[in-house]
Amino acid sequence: MDLIEELQNAAWRKARKSGPNQGNCLEVAPLSGGRVGLRDTEAPERAPFVVSASVWDAFIEGAKKGEFDF
């Protein structure tokens, strides 16, 4: 399966705390090779970002440590 097909068939999900309005959220989807797809819920037709497992892990670790808190 190529990346485009994989993204079209991906199991996209968003945070439970984002609410039912479908707006202002990011969705993520696990992909082959440990990669992660990221897309905007307001524009799911746009090409998503795809990051490596190490980039995703660093982001999650930083979020847990509060590195992105204002």
pLDDT tens column, 28-45: 999 999 999 999 888 888
Q: Mean pLDDT by 10-residue block, N- to C-terminus, for the chain (70 residues)? A: 90 79 80 94 88 95 92
- pTM of full prediction above 0.95: no
Tokens 């905007």 locate to 40
Predicted local distance difference test score (pLDDT) of residue 1: 75
Of 10, 54, 49, the residue nearest 32 (C-alpha): 10
Place of tokens 């982001």: 59
Bridge partners of residue 37, in order along the sequence: 29, 50
